[in-house]
Amino acid sequence: MKKIILVISILLLTACTNGNSELDKLKENYPKTVKKEAELLPKGIQYEIVVPKRLPFNVKNVSIDVQKNIGNDTINRTSINYRDGKGVILEVTTYHQKNIEFSGEGQQLTTKLKDGTKVIIVKDDKESPKIIRWKKDGLYHEIMLVKLSDIDKNYTIKDLVETANSIYE
């Protein structure tokens, strides 16, 4: 009987702590812009959102955008937008429709995350934007970095890949 109680206790503790700790940190740090929107989302969607631990610039503000499908109101995608306050924006998007396919990508350059996940380099303009996309656990994720042309810092695809890698650490 004691073993059964112990197993049930462990399962309950695991269920209570299982979540998206990085999203929880964002909600705590940005209660007006992230928490307000994120808490309206179903727990399953909140768990699917990918949140990087490191970014290629210092963040001044963060917001979250939600796109719903017209007609049935299901959530199509969520985007977390990080801004430096000077003209650099990094958007991390999770597409919540399982097993969708992106068409028109053709022969794209690719790279890989540390865990071997294939990353498609969607756009790598000299200045801006830079976009990568990958599929993991049946969901597509995308990181896009856009900057004003008068920003001196040059960002690379490597910066985006390092940001993506930090999600899975």
pLDDT at 9: 43
* Residue labelled with tokens 């808490």: 39
Res. 85: pLDDT tops 60: yes
Per-residue pLDDT at 19: 63
Distance CA 1, CA 33 (A): 48
Confidence at residue 128, expressed as pLDDT on a 0 to 100 scale? 80
Task: Give the pair of three-digit tokens for residue 56.
Answer: 């290629």
Q: What pLDDT was estimated at residue 99?
A: 67
Can you tell me which residue has the tokens 């959102």?
A: 49
- CA 156 centroid distance within chain: 18
Q: Say if CB 98 and CB 139 are below 8 A apart.
A: yes
State pLDDT tens for residues 95-150: 998 767 776 555 678 999 999 999 999 999 887 899 999 999 889 999 999 999 88
Q: Where are the domains of the chain?
A: 2-167
The pLDDT of residue 107 is 60
pLDDT of 152 > 80? The answer is yes
Residue of 128, 116, 125, 134 lying closest to 90 (CA atoms): 128
Who has greater pLDDT, 1 or 111? 111
Domain spanning 2-167: which superfamily? MucB/RseB, C-terminal domain (3.30.200.100)
The model's pLDDT over 14-68, given as tens digits with 9 standing for 90+, comes to 444 346 889 999 999 999 999 999 999 999 999 999 999 999 999 999 999 999 9
Nearest to 145 by CA among 161, 168, 134: 161
